[in-house]
Amino acid sequence: MRGKKIVQRAVLTVICLFVWLPFLMMAASSLMSEGELLERFGPILSNRTGSIKPALIPDYPTLRPYVELLLDSPGFFVMFWNSFLQTGAVLLGQVVIATAAAWAFGIYTFPGKRQLFFLYIILMVLPFQVMQAANYLVLDKLHLIDTHLAVILPGIFSAFPVFIMTQCFSSIPKSLLEAARLDGAGELRIFVLVGIPMGFPGIMAAGILGFLETYNAVEPAMAYLKTRTLWPLSLYLPNITADKVSVAWAASAVAMMPPVLLFLAGQTYLEQGIALSGVKE
């Protein structure tokens, strides 16, 4: 039995190496000086001969890239802030609007429900670029182009969180709701007092997934925001990778920090939430 466990752990460790190694490499590279980076990554950075020599420990570790990134490039902070503003607003909107919609889909029966739900699912399908021109038409008519709202509003009405949370809410036992109704609770009260606590992991999971989605999204901002001071970090990142070798890795590392930390902090919810969306009685 014990032997089997060891084999299991060994196999999993090997699989996890595929994640750990790149992460470690990124972390190590973010602590390298420009000279060392050129030395190690010459071929991809500037057409050099020789081979790429990634390392898990830098030869001469330095915090210089972080200093340069965080202190010497004001653009970085503006974009960091834009990212948080846009992502925060989208999440807030989703929590209010998508949760309510998911609650409706999850626990009520009403005419047209199945068709509407089908519509919501099908709306998730097409890739962004296909919708780019058509979305522009609507946003332009509403005079939202080149404002934060051009990214925020369509983000709020993404169908994905509705989908995830619906699965979650529909697992709440009907009997519980019946009991609440018999106690004379109104529908809104039931939603607030029963739905939200019971569906909390689902809401959190949708929130975390929504965060990842919005925070890492490149295309909407690129398509609808012309003013560079409105750009989020996800757009700044490819920029910095191309221009400034020295801070490329540090920028990657810093940009990844919020989602990773959120992940670690909210992992239990994420698991429960994803799980709830998958299993129902």
Residues 198 to 257 in contact with other proteins, rule: CB under 8 A: 212, 215-216, 218-219, 222-223, 226, 229, 234-235, 237-243, 248-249, 252, 255-257
**Residue 52 or 92 having the CB closest to other proteins:** 52
What DSSP line would sit under 65-129, residue for residue? HHHHHHHH-HHHHHHHHHHHHHHHHHHHHIIIIIHHHHHHHHH---TTHHHHHHHHHHTTTS-HH
From the CB of 6, what's the least distance to other proteins, in Å?
11
From the CB of 63, what's the least distance to other proteins, in Å?
15
Cα Rg for the chain, rounded, in angstroms? 23
**Which residue type does 200 have?**
F
Range 82-111, binding other proteins (CB under 8 A): 84, 96-98, 100-101, 103-106, 108-111
Q: Does 127 bind other proteins (CB under 8 A)?
A: yes
**Which residue type does 158 have?**
S
Range 25-54, binding other proteins (CB under 8 A): 25-26, 41, 43-44, 46-52, 54
- Site for other proteins (CB under 8 A): which residue of 80, 148, 180, 200? 80
From the CB of 61, what's the least distance to other proteins, in Å?
19
* DSSP tag of 159: S
**Residue 26 or 64 having the CB closest to other proteins:** 26
- Site for other proteins (CB under 8 A): which residue of 86, 214, 246, 277? 277
Burial of 174 (0-12, 13-18, 19+ CB in 10 A): exposed
Q: Does 5 bind other proteins (CB under 8 A)?
A: yes
**Residue 57 or 125 having the CB closest to other proteins:** 125
How far apart, in whole angstroms, are the C-alpha atoms of residue 118 and residue 125? 11
**Residue 176 or 262 having the CB closest to other proteins:** 262
Q: Does 121 bind other proteins (CB under 8 A)?
A: yes
- 5: Cβ contacts below 8 Å, ≥ 6 apart: none
How far apart, in whole angstroms, are the C-alpha atoms of residue 50 and residue 68? 28
How far apart, in whole angstroms, are the C-alpha atoms of residue 77 and residue 233? 9
